[in-house]
Amino acid sequence: MTTITIENYKIEVLVTHYFPGDPGKINGPPENCYPPEPSEIEYEIVTETNLEELGAQLIYEKYGDTLDEIVEEAYLEDHCDY
């Protein structure tokens, strides 16, 4: 379980799939090259503590474009050792 905070609201999400992406290979013989692939994350919002006051729809409308990035960043902080 990963917790994100948006506008002082703690939201727990369950990450169901994460692919870190691949930088690709763009040098060397063409047969050994391949394009980069972006990261992918799939998740479900599990609890929305105190989110009813703000309204879940407002969160999605306001942060919809960056919600994946916010969840990915929190997931990596929780699960990766740098």
Task: Write the pLDDT tens digit of every residue in 21-51.
Answer: 999 999 999 999 999 999 999 988 887 555 5
Global pTM? 0.66
> What is residue 52's predicted lDDT score, i.e. its pLDDT?
61
Contacts of 66 by beta carbon, 8 Å cutoff, 6+ apart: none
H helix intervals, 1-82? 51-54, 56-63, 67-79
Domains for the chain: give ranges and CATH numbers.
Answer: 2-79 (3.30.300)
What integer pLDDT is reported at residue 36 of this predicted model? Answer: 95
Average pLDDT score over the chain:
83
